[in-house]
Amino acid sequence: MKIDKKVLIAGCGGMLGEAVYQSFNSQYENVLATDIDLNVPWLKYMDVREFDQCEKVFEEFKPDIVLNLAALTDLEYCEKNHENSWLTNALGTENIALLAEKYKCTMVYISTAGIFGGEQDFYTDFDAPNPLSHYAKSKYYGERFVLERVSKIFVFRAGWMMGGGLQKDKKFINKLYKQITAGKKEIFVVDDKLGTPTYTVDFADAISKVIKTDYYGLYNQVCGGSCSRYDVAIDFIHHLKLVDQVKVTKVDSDYFKKEYFAPRPHSEKLVNLKLEKRGINFMRDWKVCLQEYSQVFVEDYYKK
């Protein structure tokens, strides 16, 4: 039997939203998924920058739980468009937080490993953020606001997101895949950026489990293990069975400094210290998750 609660999801049209919708819709009686990009029929329009528009949705739907996934996640876009990034990532989060408090909802906010400065090898939930880019600064602002203002709040920090498949994945895996399907025989990948992949399917299911506890607060929630971008590329090519056809060449970040000009930390490796200690760490190892996620691309590649 489904849980008799109403769940409102903002920014649900993206790579994480796909997994969050599938997970929550299978468990809850009433899910309202919203975005400004209505790319699937189950999405309704709601712009988190517009308080009155959001309030109307809260007033009509009366959610018990609200998840704010809405964000501008392209770091270079955010560097070039400060105002819209802050209005979306920070003010949009304020709007949802104020309404969550007013309508007495449990709120979930998604933050990022990118809020750290990269000086340490890895970061626990207790380490001090030092955001470098406009994206990271606006996301960190959102963290602080929701933690101060919302009583029933869960903040989950994700690492390098993997998920959403061919249509929705805007990040590293799909960027690699697009180069491969475009016929590239050599791919250049940085090995001086370290992090922790985060599989959207595990992340979404884990959110749904953790919020059933009363352990409100801030959590690092990434897959087990850690790696460089190069390590991820090597595994992905291996799963695609293209080791002999596609060469992966290590470069440092300078190689991409024109294309990826936003500042990024050297290390954004997270460990799920609090989830572990509370016995609620549901995330699998990144290698297992990448193998599972790669099957979407394997199927697509070999049907061509």
Ligand X SMILES: NC(=O)c1ccc[n+]([C@@H]2O[C@H](COP(=O)([O-])OP(=O)(O)OC[C@H]3O[C@@H](n4cnc5c(N)ncnc54)[C@H](OP(=O)(O)O)[C@@H]3O)[C@@H](O)[C@H]2O)c1
Interface with ligand X by CB under 6 A: which residues?
Answer: 10-11, 13-17, 35-37, 47-49, 69-73, 88, 92, 110, 112, 139, 158, 160-161, 170-171
Q: Which amino acid, one-letter code, is at 132?
A: L
Cβ proximity to ligand X, 35 vs 246, nearer residue: 35
Q: Which is nearer to ligand X, 156 or 230 (CB)?
A: 156
Using the 8-state DSSP alphabet, how is residue 128 labeled?
Answer: P
191 vs 268 by CB, closer to ligand X? 268
- Taking only Cα atoms into account, the Rg of the chain, rounded to an integer number of angstroms, comes to 19
Give me the residue whose beta carbon is nearest to ligand X: 14
Closer Cβ to ligand X, 160 or 177, answer by number? 160
Joined tokens for residue 114 = 């990118």
- CA angle at residue 19 from 197 to 291, to 5 degrees? 45
| Cα-Cα-Cα-Cα dihedral sign, residues 113, 116, 119, 124 | negative
| Distance between CA atoms of residues 241 and 295, nearest Å | 11
Residue with token string 């200690």: 277
Of residues 47 and 64, the one with the C-beta less far from ligand X: 47
Task: Please say which residue, 246 or 283, places its beta carbon nearer to ligand X.
Answer: 283
Residue 37 neighbours by CB distance under 10 Å: 12
User: Pairing state of beta strands 122-123 and 269-270?
Assistant: parallel
CA distance 56 to 233: 45
Nearer to ligand X, 107 or 246 (CB): 107
Q: How many CB atoms lie within 10 A of CB 237?
A: 21
Locate 1 and state its tokens: 């039997």
The tokens describing 273, both together, are 């210290």
Residue 112 vs 272, nearer CB to ligand X? 112
Look at residues 101, 110, 37 and name the one whose alpha carbon lies nearest to residue 67. 110
CB neighbour class for 126 (10 Å; exposed up to 12, middle 13-18, buried from 19):
exposed
